[in-house]
Structure 1
Amino acid sequence: MTEAQGPCEVSWFSALCDDDYEYLGVPDDRLKSSWEHCRNIALAAEDGGFDNILLPSGYQLGIDTTVFAAAIAPYLKRLKLLWATRTGEDWPPQLARRIATLDRILGWNAERTGGRLTVNIIASDLPGEKLPSAARYQRATEVMHILKTLLAGEHLSHDGEFYQLNLEPMRVGTLSGKPPLLYFGGLSDEAREAAAVGSDVYLMWPDTMSKVKENIADLTARAAKHGRTLRFGYRVHVIVREAESEARAYADKLLSRLDAATGDAIRNKSLDAQNYGVQRQAELRGAADGEGFVEENLWTGIGRARSGCGSAIVGDPDQVLAKLQAYRAAGIDAFILSGYPHIAECDLFARHVLPNIDHAPF
């Protein structure tokens, strides 16, 4: 990692979507998504020194992201929130007002240069409907444009495929008077174009180093065609132990009570279970060696019991740090990390790896 890159953002993950286990695929009442448990994950991330925390959103899974974000905000003194919202489930002007309100509840960052809310835009269907991929991403592109216009305090005149709006901005905007950073992901051609046109941070799920570099080059070129630049984020699990053998043994333990049928059922719960990103995670599992590693220190076993982000960086502190630094050298600006159970792994990463990373919130 070169000094010229500056600090990266390091975030943790609060398991709002029924995604916390001691043994993957085995429900545990102590780790169910609840206000208390997810609050404690966020507090552990703040205590551990993380910059931000992803609050995921899933229609069929867990607890409501917006209500949780508003409730946790007064508990946090420094941590930012990366609040996920599903574009198929909201009306953009109301969404803009909700974002501005959450931004004000969270308050200023330490430098008082902006608020502490960032937004993960998900190009979702409305539950019960099924739009073609191109239409979903077109709708998401329109939503991002509407949000950025209204949250910049500008008049909106929008005549799109999905929304026709002529509006003044809300009376109450964000603390800075600017829109928050929009994080966005997706591997299809339509998703990449939506990200290039409307997002600020393009998010990737785990992949081989060569594919990560390929995706960064592709999105950089696409954004440049629109006169824009992007930052790049990487969402991945971690298993860090004092010795590599201990980390690999723990990875094996995580899967020790999982059967194939249970894993299939968990993956298929998500409304997004058939998208390009999920298919790519399945390809990685298929390309892995007999122990589930698709390349050095990147283990694909998580995806046997999870739809979406399905791999983990596994190793000792030096190996995990070296892997993150390699991603940094490739162009990654932000990491969204998690591990099982989330509070325990948060503490391990915070003690063994985070102090050695040059990091700060965006």
Structure 2
Amino acid sequence: MSQEQQVEFGWFLPTTGDSRHIGVPAEREATASYLIQVAQAAEKAGYAFALIPAGGDCLDGWTVGSWIAAHTNTLKPLIALRPGYVAPVPAARTAAAFDRLSQGRLRLNVVTGHYEADLKASGDPLYDNHDARYERTREFLDIFQGVWDSGPESSPEGYHYQGRHYSVEGAVCRPRPVQTQPPLYFGGSSEVGKRVAARHADVYLMWAEPLDWIRGQIEEMERYLDEAAADHGTRRTLRYGLRAQLVVRETEEEAWEAAREILRLAPEELKLSAAEYQRKSGAVNQRRQMELYEGSAGQDYVIGPNLWAGLTAVRGGGAVALVGTPEQVADRILEFVEAGISSFILSGYPHLEEAEISGRLLLPLVQERLLARRNPSHETPPAARL
């Protein structure tokens, strides 16, 4: 199957509340009713899965995921798996139960780090030791996946493991997941993070950056896959994903007006304090986002065609936005596909309306273009041709 045939789109569930604006208190509470609305709108729009965020101010992802799975038909919850917050064997059993009850819809987002204050507040003894957290994640995933792989036929005595951070003896997971292995999505731009991803991940996630930066990260990950193959004897196949904000409108002027409106109410002092806070982040991917933000200040934070870093002023994480008409944004998405991206996690403010808008204006056009790439004889609407 070609890469284009595997291209998937996911949306985002705003579990801290939702707004048209950021940098101010949420205008909509993250109630069960509202999150169901967003999830159902995303499913109707054509999104295959929904990212549920993790952090001290977020609703618990497993609770939200269970609720969403019960109120949708095909939408797959992408739930944070946080090594250090729970032991690997109970986590494997929880995931297996979720996967069975949702009939194979579980996806897992491995989250190793966060802001140091959040890690410390959560009681993580490794809150200030970046590399040790990734070493713990590697051991966690060894066990997490090993328990699923073990069974009466392959390992009658259960799964055994001895590491620096974890030790288990005779671990079992029954019943097992519906999927052989629910897919693992994994982010982390540091060397140690990429090495763990090369060993365990199914999808390596990056925050949106200019194309040449993304190509560079993919080339680096491919080298780590080669190293892992030399160590373990098998060359794993890794897919690549992109996390981005989205503002798409029928005209370019409307799109940029809507993008800048998101920040209109954010106090200037908040922008300054948020930027300073993010500069101090120990996360390599956050430092990359800040480099883009600060380096583009003289260009109104435009970092490439239809790529805008302006939201980084207030929002940490994957703040870079795709901004433009459906045709322009589809062009950018196809460029990322050509670079190697096959999984897109998108979001917009507010998430309910933006899911509906993107489902109407953008996703059908992108799917037409992807179909045309696979089948050159397929006729696409004139506005959608490359």
Q: TM-score, normalised by structure 2?
A: 0.85
Q: 2:239 aligns with which of 228, 231, 238?
A: 231
| CA deviation after TM superposition for structure 1 residue 86, in Å | 1.6
Q: Which amino acid aligns with 2:348?
A: G
* Counterparts of 1:119 and 1:50, CA distance in 2: 17
Partner of 1:140: 137
Q: Deviations over 1:121-177 (max 9, x none)?
A: 00134623324111000111111111111122444221111001122322211113x
Look up the equivalent residue of 2:300 and give its one-letter code.
Answer: E
Q: Which has the higher mean CA deviation after the structures are superposed, 165-174 or 120-129?
A: 120-129
1:187 aligns with 2:189: yes
For the pair 1:312 / 2:318, whether they are aligned, the reply is: no
Measure, in 1, the Cα distance between the counterparts of 2:100 and 2:49: 16
User: Which residue in the other structure is 1:28 paired with?
Assistant: 26
Aligned to 1:222: 224
DSSP-derived class of the 1:120 partner: strand
Instruction: List structure 1 runs of 4+ shifted beyond 6 angstroms.
Output: 267-270
- More off after superposition, 20-29 vs 129-138: 20-29
Structure 1: runs of 5+ lacking an equivalent = 108-114
Deviates more, 1:41-50 or 1:149-158: 149-158
Q: Is the 8 A contact 2:326 2:362 kept in 1?
A: yes
User: Contact 1:187/1:277 (CA < 8 Å) preserved in 2?
Assistant: yes
- What's the secondary structure of 1:329's corresponding residue? helix
User: What SS does the aligned partner of 1:222 have?
Assistant: helix
Is 1:351 matched with 2:350? no
Aligned to 1:102: 98
Aligned to 2:74: 78
- Residue 47 of structure 1: how far off its partner (Å): 1.4
CA contact (8 A) 1:268 1:307 kept: no
Aligned with 1:275 (options 279, 283, 294):
283
Mapping of 1:29-108 within 5 angstroms?
29-30=27-28, 32-58=29-55, 60-107=56-103
CA contact 2:68–2:77 (8 Å) conserved in 1: no
The answer as to 2:112 corresponding to 1:123 is: yes
Residue 321 (1) aligns with residue 330 (2): yes
Q: Please give the secondary structure, in 1, of the residue aligned with 2:84.
A: helix
Change (3 A) 1:42 1:193: same
For residue 174 of structure 2, what is the aligned residue in structure 1? 171
Matched residue SS, 2:81: strand
Counterpart position of 1:150:
147
**Highest Rg: 1 or 2?**
2
Give 1:235's aligned amino acid: R
How far apart are residue 223 of structure 1 and its match?
A: 1.2
Identity of aligned residues (%): 31
Q: For this pair of structures, how many residues does the alignment match?
A: 347
Distance in 1 (alpha carbons) for counterparts of 2:271 and 2:133:
28
Aligned to 1:110: none
Structure 1 equivalent of residue 264 of structure 2: 256
How far apart, CA to CA, are the structure 2 residues paired with 1:343 and 1:264?
A: 29
233-242 vs 159-168, which moves further: 159-168
Alignment partner, residue 163 of structure 2: 160
Deviations 1:207-250 (A, max 9, x none): 11101000011101211222222110000011000011110111
Number of the residue aligned with 1:209: 211
Q: 1:297, CA displacement in angstroms? A: 0.6
Contact 1:267 1:273 in 2 (8 A): no
1:47–1:5 CA distance, 2 compared to 1 (3 A): closer
Residue 357 of structure 1: how far off its partner (Å): 2.7
Indicate how the Cα distance of structure 1 residues 29 and 315 shifts in structure 2: closer, same or farther if over 3 A, else same: closer
Whether the aligned pair in 1 keeps the contact of 2:150 and 2:159 (CA below 8 Å) is no
Secondary structure of 1:257 counterpart = coil
* Residues 167 and 261 (structure 1), Cα distance of their counterparts in 2 relative to 1, 3 Å cut: farther
| 1:282-338 Cα distance to aligned partner (Å, 9 max, x none) | 111112143220111100011111111111000000000000000000000100000
Q: Give secondary structure in 2 for the equivalent of 1:197.
A: helix
Q: Which amino acid in 2 is paired with 1:48?
A: A
Whether the aligned pair in 2 keeps the contact of 1:14 and 1:55 (CA below 8 Å) is yes
**Code of the aligned partner of 2:58:** G
Q: Which residue of 2 aligns with 1:243?
A: 251
Instruction: Give the secondary structure class of the aligned counterpart of 2:6.
Output: coil
Output the CA distance in 2 between the equivalents of 1:212 and 1:188: 14
CA contact (8 A) 2:69 2:75 kept: no
2:178 is matched by which residue type in structure 1?
L
Quick one: which amino acid aligns to residue 75 of structure 1?
Answer: H
